[in-house]
Structure 1
Amino acid sequence: MSEDGRPSIGTMRRYAWMNIFTGFLVWGVALAGVSMMMPIMYGTISQDMGWTITQTTSFMAIKSAVSGVGGLFAGGLIVKFGLKRVFVQSVAVIGIATLLLYFVDSLPIYYALASVSGFASILSLIAIQVTLAKWHSASIGRITGVAMLGGAAAGTIVPLATAYGLQHFGWHATAATAGVLVLAFVLLAAIFLFREAPEAYGYTADELDPGPAGGRSRKAGATPATDAGPEFRSILKTRQFILLIVAAALSGAISNGVNEYIPLFVERQANLGAYMAALGFTIVIVISGLGKILFGWVFDRFSTRGVAACWALCGVAVLLSFPVAGFATFLIFMLVRGVSHGGVVVQAPVLARHLYGIRPIAQVIAFLNAAFHLGASLGIWAIGIGVDLTGGFGIPFIAVAVVAAICALIGLGLEPRYWAGYTARRAPSHA
């Protein structure tokens, strides 16, 4: 306990790391882990249940669509009921919905569980992002990247573990086991480790995470650290917020939308075979962990300009698909795609906090995630239609590169007034 009656800085930073660890578990087990299982189980599910591939794979399509729509309501629910209540209950629902896959014997039940899981997943995702943004200021990008490494860790374990489970226990039991893991580990962390906000202990994020001493001072146009930010309703119809949501949606298309087609592109258009297709997807997921850390640092250092650079790199990555013909070009494409994907998935809390501060952060992060998921769904659909109409990935991937350039231009125009390193644009000099 410090002299002013507040917990010590050391205690507060320990609480902050407890949140990071909880986020690691959420991303690694409840979110990425569960999602990674489904594509691996699709073949077995289709065969065992007698469903078509389209019927079987609709699970993730429904889950993603519900997540996108649910994100629009997540901010309001968090504001009304509180972060911890929403977070704990959403994690519990993910675990229960995954566990209940054990009892699936029809498509309606299968799809209903996909819907429930999708809504709970977006709530837990937004809740942990909001929490990290409330506890961290100067290092929000890096911290979010560290927490999201859970997804990369899952990429090294879940595929093989799922394949083993399918072989020895079947898909029902394998899915149920994942639900038990969510309830046994992630839910307990959410209940006992999660800390909602530093303000409850008398601190602010700027006190706990002020950045390097002697950093750049704020200049004209910068917003004081004591300003918590505008009310959400005051920014909802502003030009910058609308452009931000558009860019977030487009970033979903150029990142997650492209990822959906990597195995198909490698196997069929690059003619490298099914094994290389699976290897490529694994490389993207694992290397995205490096991208999260790298771009987390870039976002902390350069804010919206760093995000713009990440969006531009998504365009570069897709252009690198054109020369893919052997292992060397294949590896370069996958590495750049993985790094850029890692940056994109870290962007929401950084953009929300740097652009609008703490006060509206729950609603802003919710809208950013909703836009991202809806954009990813539309991107998957648009790329698929483009491939069907043109007979290949060339024209659709060129379109993706153009969209990435548009995203980058939007990013360069955003003003991060609540970023610790913000410097207003210099007024033009007069003779």
Structure 2
Amino acid sequence: MDEPIVSLMKPEFTDDPICAYARLREKAPLVRVGYPGGPASWLITRNGEVKAALSDPRLVTNYGNVPGHQGPSVADLMVATLDMPEEFRDFLAANMMLQDGEYHARLRRLVTPAFTARRIKALRPRIEEISARLLDALAKKGSGDLIEEYSSPLTGTVICELIGIEEADQPQVRKWMNDYADAGADLAASARGMLEYLQKLIERRRAEPADDMISMLVQASDEDGDRLSESEIISLVLVVVNNGHHSTAHFIPNALLALFDNPDQLALLRARPDALPHAMDELMRIANPVPTAGQRYATEDLEFAGVPIRKGEALTGSFLSANYDPRVFPEPERCDVERVVKRGEGHLSFGAGPHYCIGATLANLEGEIALDHLLLQRDSLEVTVSRDDLKYTEATPGGARLLSALPVRL
């Protein structure tokens, strides 16, 4: 008898997602789910099983790597469904997020030096400077949208500077970056503009290297002298833009609301600001704007969490469900900024396994600085609308549900 399919389009999954996913989690570690017009897949609901899936070599991110696969590639489908320029196909095909095995390991090996703990730590003074400047401008106005006027330009500017986008070009590049998450934007035009800009920037950095990510990628080589192609460099930059900008820009307002909802925890941090770095794990657990991992595809008939999975079937890990799993987090709905979890366990907001987020250290640092500046160094910030009046946009059915705006007064 086939497993009944749960529709994630039901209102309960947007009205009260924590409780809705808790019911699925207690029902089973794997639940059959579906969306209108799309094939059913398996949703992984428990922390341990999500973590295991993200490290299981039998599950791949690129279904083109499923033995016997025939049909369009992931790049082909993205070009068609997103109406992307044809010239974008090579960059989509080189997307590190959609690669497996040695090719993925090679790309990651060559980009990781740009994200070492030492390099990220050295960014603190500059991130603090950008944050202070944005907050000063917002304070002079007296009120505004925290996302549009603070968190988005903060993370966008940091990513631009990390990549090596010249200051005069940053407003246009940040617009292209923001268009990626704007359902009403002309994505094809933005993608083409970003592509042409990056091609010219790579050419300039080949001639005159600087201390930035583009220059590092242009010069990067492994022990065999293997270098990245232009398509691979552009693809890596786009991965950093899309994963390092939008997610942190929306984590900041989510975390701020979480602390306002838990005034005892905010009071604790204000009394002990040195506790903020530790608190970031708990805030990342409950305020993560990315609800699911990318799909994994079974490369063979297998059994996972006691469930038979057929070759080619898709499995998706629910970060939202995993981060509230009481097997790992006692009283998971309680915000506890002093929470300590067992070694080797914890939130999965940055993923796990070979695809663990290379920008995790940067995201933590940006979030920590932002919350320190917004809530610990000042106590005057107020949200000027009720929670019921907050509006959200959903990028895809069952996907990221992002705040459209957060009106505040300083």
TM-score by length of 1: 0.30
Pick the structure with more strand per residue.
2
Pick the structure with more helix per residue.
1
